[in-house]
Structure 1
Amino acid sequence: MLSAAICGEVFTSPQVDAILSGIRAVTGPMGCLLIVTNYTGDRLNFGLAAEQAKSEGYKVETVIVGDDCALPPQRGIVGRRGLAGTFLVNKIAGAAAATGLSLDEVAAEAKRASEMVGTMGVALSVCTLPGQVTSDRLGPGKMELGLGIHGEPGAAVADLQPVEVVVSHVLQEILSPDRNYVPITPGNRVVLLVNGLGATPAMELMIVAGKAVPQLQLEHGLAVDRVYTGSFMTSLDMAGFSISIMKADEAILQRLDASTKAPYWPVGVDGNRPPAKIPVPLPLSHSGKSDESLSRPQQLSEQGHLLEVAIEAAVNAIIDLRDNLNEWDGRVGDGDCGSTMYRGATAILEDMKKHYPLNDAAETVGEIGSSIRRVMGGTSGIIYTIFCKAACAKLKANTQSVVTSKQWAEALETSIAAVSKYGGASAGFRTLLDALIPASAVLQERLNAGDDPCIAFLLSSEAAVTGAESTRHMQAQAGRSAYISPDILATVPDPGAMAAAAWYRAAALAIKNKYQVHE
């Protein structure tokens, strides 16, 4: 199995530093294979960690697993989600590595395995996020078909049905020749994995497996060579299950049958389990800045005062919007957008009091990115880190002590380009860029027309709000919302876009009030 598993916050991808710690802790001379589930935040964070590890001399390869069979394969730029079939890929890759194969050979086996497996989930309840009220979107007598593992809504809601009917539907979706999710045809050998979502007893998982095996044999003409049941990839306390089907051959079966010390793999444990806690070295610090250079100045310049006012207003707007963001995200995502943004906002507010060099605009923006990177996981954390670091680099190119309005506008444009490059989204994808792109366009236009910078900033913030509100009418092409039906999306705006518009608008109003500029 795996040598290390990297944990993030609940329903949030792990942060880059945590991934780097894992790579450094377990990677030997043969190298490291990262097996990553296909979610935007995971791809970005693991991708950045992989690049950093390579720069430190480690050999690293990555395999992305997307085994979701609930929706058509192409969903905007995001593709199929990574679900419980990932564990079969983990086992095959781990067994291959244990035989002494090269990194490239292990990666090739893992990639081949990822292309042979399909998964679909069924939820009988909504999971409970820590500290939040459980959503009531799933009424009595209802179930959701085709869900992910982060509490997001399924592809469809249906009446509760007998288990054999539900299993039949799931198997039909996975093995559908029209959709061609997996290269499985009658006569093939397969592996069945029945996964619990957190609150499903082992007995009920056995019942699901008991219904699935004869259907695979009699209705689909497949030979079931192995059956695994257990809670491999859960969604907190969600009641339900997922079924994974993998095309098998002797090579795959040999890897699955290989002994392992992983304590919860259902077969093959040899008894010599690893220690409960494995010490992980802290990531090395690469900061070239001294404590003195990154400290709050005793006396703020005019620019420093403006930065302080704008930052404080922006983060307070996010803090005030936390519950609304969570509510919106609960309908179209995993319900934690507000909580994630709140963590970043409070960290920025606290760090600004201690060590932001507010008289240096470029370094201050860079430090905001560092604060975000430290506490915000998932897609939003890495996106805003990229946003801030790109702006910092652009502002550093300025040799003047005071940043002009046009230079701020250029930094915003550069940051948007960086987010679009690495995240893959652009205008109309129903993301935070739908707030920031129109804001940037209006800011450039008004400054070029000779408007007062405060007025230009204020008008651009109105464009940000309008852009965020317009996401109600967009079909998502990035992030978890890409898996949600248009009817549900139309009920709320994109939470990420609304958050971006909120902090941008608050900063503009704060600067306007600072100068007492009136519309």
Structure 2
Amino acid sequence: MKKLVNDPRAVVRQMLEGLVELNPALALLDREDVVVRLPIAPPAERPVAVISGGGSGHEPAHAGYVGDGMLAAAVAGDVFTSPSVDAVLAAIHATAGPRGAVLVVKNYTGDRLNFGLAAEMATAAGIPTRMVIVADDAALRDTVERGHRRGIAGTVLVHKVAGAAAAAGLPLDAVVDEATRVGAGLASMGVALGACTVPAAGRPGFSIGDDEMELGLGIHGEQGVRRLSLQPADAIVDSILATVLDDLSGAPGDRVALLVNGLGGTPPMELAIVSRRAMDVLREREIRIERAWCGNFMTALEMPGCSLTLLRVNDAMLARLDAPTGASAWPGRGQVGSRLPLPAPSEPATVRRGRGAGPLPAQLRGAAHLVADALDAAQDELTALDSRAGDGDLGISMARGAAAIRSLPDDAWDTPAIALAAMGHALRRAIAGSSGPFYATALIRAARHLDAEAPGAEDWARAFTDAVASIGALGGAKPGDRTMLDALAPAAQTLAEQVRQGVPLAEAWRGASLAAEQGCLATASMRPRLGRAAYLGDRALGAADAGASAVVVWMRALAGAG
């Protein structure tokens, strides 16, 4: 596993140095890995200090939650290792005074011991200090008693409520009471799709197959409670929420806050899909979602996966969750919107409908469906080619285009002009990226030249030539730039020449198809000048351009239809 680190022994200090330099409201103690909130008031003027921490590798926890209205300090140990007693004690003395401190501690032995001893020493020194232990991991509900469960992502919600209570001026016992109530109403559970790598170890913490997942894991790179076959996102969410809701005795009418937490290696796209299903499940059970957040809150380095947390809430707790904070990692109030879609503006009719006669509509549809079949068959090949020099989406894009062609209604095939225009508009809706606009523009332009119900060979040649020209005009490419035009341009030239020579249209198209193949093969030795492939320079050489290859696929299909 490659990592952007210097010395594995220095990752924590260097991380914290970078963090505080990016936030003028934070400072780092000189002899301990402790981040504190600025400004620091004289001890007698300090409110109750809410302090948390633990092993590093969980970023943005815990230093990301230091700020007005949240944590007064965060104590960072080595990766996945509890901080020392001295570091915790330094955090207490730097931020707390006679009103005391609350230590929010995840339920791990090392954390409990080191934070607990520091609390005893601080109290003996005149700073009353209490601990609130968070044990929200519902995955262990059938394994250990509740007080022995791990603390995971729900800890962040304890930070928020306790920090807001302290900022409101509450005394120590009241802050502890509110934090404890949050912990009692929490349940979390996670899933991992792979392992993470501790910098000092240099290798993943465990091995897992491509078709497997770990259900019910902690936040220290360990394996879960069960290893299962990989499932779709919705099924994973259903399984997690079933356990979490059972643990909370969830019932219709309950009010909850939802936290969808990434473990460090899960893209926002996937977390949003998880959030969508989680909210669906809760609404189906008639549970009221008062607040919801989605993102990386407590990670396990670069582990792919997520956890779901539910917190029972009431109005008083919501007020704490909504209270302002200067902590950089807190995402805001978590207001929940509606998924009800707005109606899209109606689109004016762009395709003329006719009443075609004879066999032509069936012939047009048959030829188009041959193209669709060929594009489907070539999906993997096009994906592989596009992945070498692009983003790898061409195969699926062409498959979506094929599905759009098949879905066209009967009257879309009445005449060639209607058919081409209909396909153009279908492809622009179905295909994202550059391919959709290119093909749509070409087809719509070609349709202009085919007004007759049965156009002749010259009409088809002229339409194809103009369609190819429209692609160059739209994208700014020319032959030799290593694009689809390197297949299309020689094909258009060959078709026009052979039609002028009196070659029958079907035979001329086969000649054009061969010219497209030769042009496509030539792209393997061309240095790309446009598109994503241009960023690779000579590294793109050796394989044909994916867009030109797609042209060959559908031209061959049409040549076979003739």
TM-score (norm 1): 0.50
Which protein is bigger by CA-based radius of gyration?
A: 2
Indicate the structure whose relative CO is greater, using CA pairs within 8 Å and at least 6 residues apart. 1
TM-score (norm 2): 0.46
